[in-house]
Chain A
Amino acid sequence: MLEFKRLKAWEIALNSCIRCGYCYEHCPIYRATGWESDAPRGKLIILHGLLHRRIGLTTDTGSKVFQCLGCGQCEKACSSGVPLLDIFQDARADIMDTGIEVKGTLAETDPQKCVACLNCLRVCPHEARYFQDGIVLTDPVKCRGCGSCVDTCSAGAIKFETALAADRGLIEDQIREFVENHKNDKKLVVFSCNWSTYPGLQHARFSAQENAEKEREPYKLFVTACAGRLPMELPLKALELGAHGVLVVHCPSDQCDHEGADRAKARITRLRNFLSQAGMDPERVRTAEAPRLDTKAFSSAVSDFLRYLGSPGKKAATGDSV
């Protein structure tokens, strides 16, 4: 019997959501997928439906609330003061009590690879890892998808099915589409940390657009959970798919709660070395620091990079692929 005991306590709060959608522009998941059912308002509507048994609990309906990075931007933007994070947290707990399988922006452990070193347990800032039956597992209620565990795992046993805010396949498809639509342009793919440049993002997009005097966006932006969570393969894949440059935007080290900035920088340094060794221009992959809400840092990093890619004589501008 489904009870939604914890969620029941939020009934008034669910009613107080006026469904204005002011949360949309702030949600990295919605920004990545563009579907209203992935936005915070959509999640509240689903929870309302589950609570009142207007929709049944299935992996599909139950999983939505697990597709959330817990950044809390929605709550700050909420026109009705709905405590979304607490509601999502309680809903997750209720749903896990039912034993259904859920999918989300959650760390997953490969039992074949886990050597039970317990390092991830120590580094997880959300106490979302626990030891059971010889392996370390994720508590889906607590996991915020920050990726700290992935980096610390020397056995390579932890992964995210959805590497960023959206699923990996979708990101690759979007890069492909972007490259296809910008055949004659310099093509820049930007991975930007949700915690740093967001939510000044929309602003930045247009300033950079203006600088480049392009009708369409001269670069493709993906919002990542934490820059530290970006696996090295993705920037590499972007180059392989035809991007001329990849920019990874992260918080200043002292502002990052996940040590993500340092991890991102280290990873990109490795990638640059790799490019050098392969005889390619390492400048095609860069990192940039953007303090929270500082849109200028973001847009000037993008504009600088675009200028670099467009400058004559640079190898990058020829569009050689990896």
Chain B
Amino acid sequence: MNPPDILELKKIVGEENLRDSKADLYVYGADASVYEGKAFVVVKPRTIPAVQELMAYADKNSIPVIPRGSGSGMCGQTVPVKGGIVLDMKGLNRILEVNVNDAYCRVEPGVVDDDLNRALSPHGFFYPPTPASSRIATIGGEIGNNASGTRSVKYGAARDSVLGMKVVLANGDCVNLGSRTRVASSGYPLERLMIGSEGTLAVIVEATLKFVPLPKFRCMGIANFNKLEQAGDAISEIIASGCSPSMLELIDKVAITAVNQSMNLGLPDVEAILLFEADGMVMEAVDFEIEKAREICAAHQGSGIEVSYDAKERERIFAGRKKLFPALSRYREYLASTSLADDMAVPFSRMADTARKIHETADKHGIIMTAYGHCGAGCMHTKILMDTTKGAQWEAAREAIAEIYEHVRSVDGTTSAEHGIGMSKAPAFKQEKHDLLDLMRSVKKAFDPKGILNPGKLMDAPDDWMSAARLRYVTQEGKDA
């Protein structure tokens, strides 16, 4: 792959929208994953024609292009493993239209999720996929990863909120995909192909999104379970009962210990906590959902059940979940909280045994893993807490991850619920989708014949995640992990 002509790029985007100093390139080589890479140059296009020109130039010269939102992806999606041009899409960050009558909005890809929701809320609406990282995640990145969040159990993932989009293809052509209507029946739904494609098919330059009314009432509840399996049974029964929670979150023992240790929140010493929420326009309807969830939790030996409509109380109830990340980072001073085997989805009925499997596997290999997540959507998250300075811990992590994903496949789960594949989850992804890899590569070739868009990711990532790119951590021996 060739290095680009910087002068040529400056002509396209303008001098102030290009950076290529060592410091800039090092930073843009990283994201929220365990990896580091090095781009040739970072550019911040501010118009669609600039994106088109950049792509035409890169295609002609066979230079890799890595579209990037805020780089909060956890699996190395935006790490430039083959050099290339990083397209910082945050320069295209306008909310173009909020069309209440037709119930859609049009945004540029660099708009941050929270900003979009701030713009929608005065109209009485919200954009629901909202990941936990919504203060930084861009709409382009959410589409790239098919992001979802705590409320996806009721409102779905990015895939369920995108009506259409404008994309720039590898050769620089700009095309419109999808529509602005709620229904659109004929032809291949190519806009859907973009969702979860991790920047490998085209550059999204505009998205048409639907939004939903902000509920008038939200009620949150909490229940503690002595056994993980009791919580697991409660989850699948809540879903099976036809109840429609707007949030159903699981927190495991490791996470509880972490939160209590570092923040002194006084969570009970149990194996699992479930948080549930219902929302709606009519209080009786919300009451109905909450009552049902409460009854089911109680039937499965849930204790300490509390529910509240009060905003402050809801905040207090949710505090344990909210403080999870900092708590895990502070679990033990020498342990880093790494984004490895960070997410997966399993059927509701397999939530508990998957969490159990994660704990047992971690114990077996001498690492610490937590299991938590948006379990109402079937989503399970983990973090691996390990001493990243020890080579042996990395080997242990490698084996544990392989075993955990083998379990996920065995229960008909899938490799990623929402964080995506990038490089760190590629081995598991490729095993799961083994019969689709050629088909996926053909699709990629149809969009991007020269393979310039985010190369080395998804089905094209190496089989060994540890050597797929340089790891950010350094071992005691002074070697890269």
Using a CB–CB cutoff of 8 Å, the interface residues on chain A facing chain B are 12, 15-16, 18-22, 24-25, 34-37, 41-42, 45-46, 48-49, 52, 54-56, 58, 60-61, 63-64, 78-81, 170, 173, 202-203, 206, 209-210, 215-216
Contacts and interface: CB of A to CB of B under 8 A. Distances in A.
B27 A34 contact: no
19 contacts: A15-B336, A16-B337, A18-B337, A19-B71, A24-B135, A25-B136, A34-B91, A36-B70, A36-B88, A41-B27, A45-B27, A46-B27, A80-B326, A80-B337, A170-B16, A173-B16, A206-B119, A206-B122, A215-B97
Contact of A20 (B19, B21, B32): B32
Interface in B273-325: 325
B115 A202 contact: yes
Contacts of B388: 15
A56 B135 CA distance: 32
A21 B32 contact: yes
Contacts of B91: 34
Interface in B15-43: 16, 19, 21-24, 26-28, 30-33, 36, 42
Contacts of B30: 19, 45
Nearest to A81: B326
Interface stretch (B148-156, B196-204, B327-335): B327-335
Q: Sort chain B's interface into a size bin.
A: 35 or more
Given A25-B136, A37-B26, 18 more contacts: A12-B334, A15-B473, A16-B329, A19-B33, A20-B133, A20-B136, A24-B136, A37-B23, A37-B27, A45-B27, A46-B26, A46-B27, A60-B23, A81-B330, A202-B118, A203-B118, A206-B118, A215-B96
B104 to A, nearest CB: 15
Contact of B325 (A42, A45, A60, A80): A80
A202 B112 CA distance: 11
B339 interface: yes
Nearest to B96: A215
Contacts of A173: 16
B474 interface: yes
Contact of B31 (A16, A19, A61, A78): A19
A166 to B, nearest CB: 11
B457 interface: no
Nearest to B117: A206
Contacts, number: 118
A219 to B, nearest CB: 15
Contacts of B42: 35
Interface string B362-397: 000000000000000000000000001000000000
Contacts of B21: 37, 60-61
Q: Which of B26, B33, B112: most chain A Cβ within 10 A?
A: B26
A34 B136 contact: no
A78 B323 CA distance: 11
A48 B23 CA distance: 11
A21 B325 CA distance: 13
Contacts of A46: 23, 26-27
Given A46-B23, A210-B122, A18 B473 contact: no
Contacts of A216: 94
A5 B319 CA distance: 38
Nearest to B325: A79
Given A15-B473, A60-B21, A22 B115 contact: no
Contacts of A15: 336, 388, 473
Nearest to B97: A215
B114 interface: yes
B72 A20 contact: yes
A142 B118 CA distance: 38
A275 B251 CA distance: 62
A56 B42 CA distance: 19
Interface string B123-136: 00000000001011
A58 B22 contact: yes
B82 interface: no
Given A15-B388, A79-B326, A202-B115, A56 B337 contact: no
B23 A55 contact: yes
Q: Which of B42, B325, B329: most chain A Cβ within 10 A?
A: B329
Contacts of B36: 54
Given A34-B44, A46-B27, A206-B118, A21 B22 contact: no
A173 B336 CA distance: 42
A45 B91 CA distance: 22
Contacts of A209: 119
B122 A35 contact: no
Contacts of A60: 21-23
